[in-house]
Amino acid sequence: MSNSSNPLCINVGFLLNQPVGTSHDIPFELERLDLSSDLIFTGFEAVIRIGRTPQGMLVSGDLRAITKLECARCLSKFNQPLESEFSELYAFNRKSTTESDLILPEDANLDLRPLIREYMMLEIAINPLCRSDCRGLCPVCGENLTSTTCEHHTLNCEGEPTKYSDNSLARALSKAISETE
Ligand SMILES: [Zn+2]
Ligand SMILES: [Zn+2]
């Protein structure tokens, strides 16, 4: 049913002659899945359900995976768990297509990678953060302020960094900023 070089290519031909309402679940567990050069999953788990409808094959999926992202603040790499679900109709003909405009190919082979990629990409934040309170990098020396402090930042009594404890530096910086504006 699924192809060994691309496990996410499923042949749904076996359901074509089944009565409307028949469905079949296909579980997936892949240690690694490369969807594209910019989207690589580890620990990919999914259940794909193929259902025979009068209009075509309804493919739905529950997806779970981990991907490595770069934190928008501190630039460190971190593992982001992702979860998504989808339901799309691969129609038998043009008359029955939905908004997604998917048609069941003649050979009944469905490559689910583009669909999975599209849905998982929606789950990735535009500015991903390694942790919600990531303090980012010191703009002066580049130290990662979540794990260390530097001479430009000291922690106040709440443990929050106080920016530019050195007043002369703060003045120099605000002067530099006002000059560039
Ligand atoms: Zn971070
Ligand atoms: Zn610093």
Q: What pLDDT sits at residue 155?
A: 61
How far apart CA 129 and CA 134 sit, in angstroms, is: 7
Residue 113 C-alpha to ligand 1 middle, in angstroms?
29
Is the overall model pTM greater than 0.85, yes or no?
no
How far apart CA 59 and CA 140 sit, in angstroms, is: 52
Ligand at minimal distance from the CA of 133 is 1
Q: What pLDDT sits at residue 162?
A: 60
Is the model's pLDDT at 167 over the cut of 80? no
Q: Which token pair is 8? A: 């996410």
Give 76-110 pLDDT, tens digit per residue. 999 999 999 999 999 999 999 999 999 999 999 99
Q: Tell me the pLDDT band of 1, cut-offs 50, 70 and 90.
A: low
E strand map for 53-126: 56-70, 77-91, 109-111
What is the share, in percent, of the chain residues with pLDDT greater than 90?
Answer: 69
Residue 138 C-alpha to ligand 2 middle, in angstroms?
5
Asked whether the beta carbons of 7 and 28 are under 8 A apart, the reply is yes
Average pLDDT (16-21) is 96
Residue 77 C-alpha to ligand 2 middle, in angstroms?
20
Residue 147, CB-side half-sphere exposure with 13 Å CA sphere: 7
Q: What pLDDT sits at residue 177?
A: 63
